[in-house]
Amino acid sequence: MLESLISISVATLVLALSPGPDNIYVLSQSLVNGVKSGIATTAGLISGCIVHTSLLAFGVSAVITASEELFYGIKIAGALYLIFLAFKVYRSSSEIDIASKAPQKKYLELFKTGVIMNLLNPKVMIFFLAFFPGFLWHPSENTVLQFYILGLTFMVVSFMVFSMVSILAGKISSYLLTHKKTGLYLKWLQIAVFIGIAVFILIP
């Protein structure tokens, strides 16, 4: 259990630090409207993960109970999806755009926006389906509880990282603007993590 939690924590940490729509939105919101706005947005984004975790826990757990072969098929599909994500990152630009300005909203509105952004993004559910099964420590035991523990770990680490992005928004943006190669380094780090997780999922 401890090994799985450490593994998913490290993977989540790297992915949360890698530039993406969510953390870039949090960063821009913090720059324009202040730290509290960024944290409110972060809280919304993370809260949406509860729904995805629940759908994953009960849906995949039923599959595991029905057929181990089908579950392994899900793991293979997940690994292939992660490799596909690595390829998409490889094809994408390494430049980090933080010039876009986020519209000013009240904290509750920002929270709601974060939840909606998360829930209406089908890629999040697909990512969870690809990401979590490989970190189960006892697939034959209570998988619903294990998925919730993994989901909680993912949410806590992501919230901590995104909150730090909000708090250090000014310094982070200044650093990114003056160190152009940072995006390139983070890009290849993200590729390595996606491929590493894909391999980890397939190891018996």
Share of the chain above pLDDT 70, in %: 90
Give residue 149's pLDDT. 94
Share of the chain above pLDDT 90, in %: 19
Q: Cβ(151)–Cβ(132) under 8 Å?
A: yes
- Can you give the residue range of the structural domain that contains 152? 2-202
pLDDT tier at 158, thresholds 50, 70, 90 = very high
Give residue 102's pLDDT. 54
**What average pLDDT does the chain have?**
81
Give residue 188's pLDDT. 82
Lowest mean pLDDT among 81-90, 144-153, 167-176: 167-176
The runs of H, that is alpha helices, within the chain are: 2-17, 21-33, 35-66, 68-91, 107-119, 122-131, 143-167, 169-178, 182-202
Which residues neighbour 133 within 8 Å (Cβ) at sequence distance 6 or greater?
60, 71, 74, 75, 78, 201
The encoded tokens of residue 137 equal 């420590």
Domain count, the chain: 1
- End-to-end alpha-carbon separation of the chain, Å? 16
Give me the mean pLDDT over the 120-134 stretch: 79
Give me the mean pLDDT over the 50-62 stretch: 85
The encoded tokens of residue 95 equal 């430049």
pTM: 0.75
Give residue 146's pLDDT. 92
Give residue 42's pLDDT. 93
